[in-house]
Amino acid sequence: MADTGWRNKTSITEFVLLGFGKVPELQILLFPLFLMIYMVTVAGNMLIVVLVVADQHLHTPMYFFLGNLSGLETCYSSAILPRMLASLLTGDRTISVSTCIAQFYFFASLAATECCLLSAMSYDRYLAVCKPLHYAALMNGRLCLQLAAGSWLSGCLATLIISSLMSQLTFCGPSEIDHFFCDFTPVIKLSCSDTNLILVLDLLLASLCTLFPFLLTLLSYVYIIITILRIPSTGCRQKAFSTCSSHLIVVTMFYGTIIIVYMLPKSDTLRDLNKMFSVFYSVLTPLINPLIYSLRNKEVKEALSRLIHKCVAFSRTQASLASTF
């Protein structure tokens, strides 16, 4: 009966995303900044996907996972930035309840998938460094597909359960979300329904999809570092570490900012700081990832060079054919 009373009382069909405040000068500055970030993020990550697919030299487990990660980062940014850009451009901060829950689903499922993918990539690096003689046999094409598919499915299915429960909640007010996207905690706080079950399930599923992969990643790198330190040659140690340094940097940035965001006390004084770190892991990390892998990776640079040469040769061939007619 109580639930029926809440539903009859419901008058909220839209939320208001407060974003970064109402200062007009700030909105004018943020729109071109975030637009540039979004364009570079999509271009950089899609370039890596194209290189991994098109270049035979990159058809290895490490680059297979990197291609998955880059595709995921493109979707990850697209779940947040287009809506933010539209709000900054038009000044319209409203978002329907159903759209808000949909945005949370895509953002959260992709974040959970990234945790699992980073764990799979760390396992790949563990086998490459700690079991080099058995690496080719252990990390075969079938296992790569299973790890990638398992990462995507676990992230999407776990978040689907939470999103389905969120869609059944009643929201009676207030309607303002002090964030720039629909995250779990700010939305749940606005519900006047009983949220005990969804909070327990969220804690359980978050532990399975984020904490468990994080511990596996941490354990993999403990073994990797121990193995590298046992290598007698300094040159060999540097070469071994270089094979996983880019991935380690990405893991540190991603988990570091997420831990800060979700472990900081949710006080008013730390709200702006929390929002700043949310920008880092949800907006800047997808931008930085392709830069890290491309600028620090010789094989990616060589693949890009080969792709440019192929494009130039193709354009010259087309131009010569056109001149003959």
Q: Summarize pLDDT for 251-301 with one digit per residue, the tens.
A: 888 888 777 777 666 666 666 677 777 888 788 888 888 888 776 677 888
Q: Find the helix packing angle between 234-263 and 212-229, rounded to 10°.
A: 160
Maximum CA extent, the chain: 81
Confidence of residue 109 (pLDDT cuts 50, 70, 90): very high
Q: Does residue 10 have a pLDDT over 60?
A: no
Q: Of 286 and 1, which is predicted with more confidence?
A: 286
CA dihedral 314, 315, 320, 325 (to 10 degrees): 110
Among 86-90, 279-283, 307-311, the range of highest mean pLDDT: 86-90
**Nearest residue to 203 via CA among 172, 171, 162:** 162
Q: In what order do the strands lie in the sheet with 14-17?
A: 94-96, 14-17, 176-177
Q: 49 is written with which tokens? A: 């996907």
- Token pair recorded at residue 107: 């953002």
Using the predicted structure, report yes or no on whether residue 105 has a pLDDT greater than 90. Answer: yes
Whole-model pTM: value is 0.86
Per-residue confidence (pLDDT) for residue 8, from 0 to 100: 47
* pLDDT mean over 304-311: 82
| Cβ burial, residue 158 (10 Å; 0-12/13-18/19+) | buried
pLDDT at position 103 over 90: yes
Q: State yes or no: pLDDT of 198 exceeds 70.
A: yes
91-102 average pLDDT score: 90
pLDDT, average across residues 149-176: 89
Question: How far is Cα 105 from Cα 188, in angstroms, rounded to an integer?
Answer: 14
Residue scoring higher pLDDT (17 or 301): 17
Question: How many residues make up the chain in this entry?
Answer: 325
Percentage of the chain exceeding pLDDT 90: 25
pLDDT at 85 over 80: yes
pLDDT at 271: 65
Please state, for a pLDDT cut of 70, what percent of the chain lies above it.
Answer: 89
2: pLDDT strictly greater than 60? no
Going by C-alpha positions, the residue among 15, 14, 35, 13 that lies closest to residue 88 is 35
**How high is the pLDDT of residue 82?**
92
Identify residue 123 by its one-letter amino acid code.
Y
pLDDT digits (tens, 9 = 90+) for 20-79: 776 666 777 888 999 999 999 999 999 999 989 988 888 899 899 999 999 999 998 999
pLDDT for res 28 = 78
Check: CB of residue 287 under 8 Å from CB of residue 37. Answer: yes
Work out the pLDDT band at 7, boundaries 50, 70, 90: very low
Residue 64 confidence (pLDDT): 93
pLDDT of the residue at 150: 93
Tell me the pLDDT of the chain averaged across its residues: 83
Pairwise pLDDT comparison (320 vs 307), residue with the higher score: 307
Radius of gyration of the chain (CA): 23
Considering only residues 217 and 303, tell me which one the structure prediction assigns the higher pLDDT.
Answer: 217
For residue 207 the two structure tokens come to 């532990």
* Position 119 confidence tier, pLDDT thresholds 50, 70, 90: very high
Burial of residue 203 (CB within 10 Å: 0-12, 13-18, 19+) is: exposed
Alpha carbon distance 252, 70 (integer Å)? 17
d(CA 118, CA 212): 12
- The pLDDT of residue 272 is 66
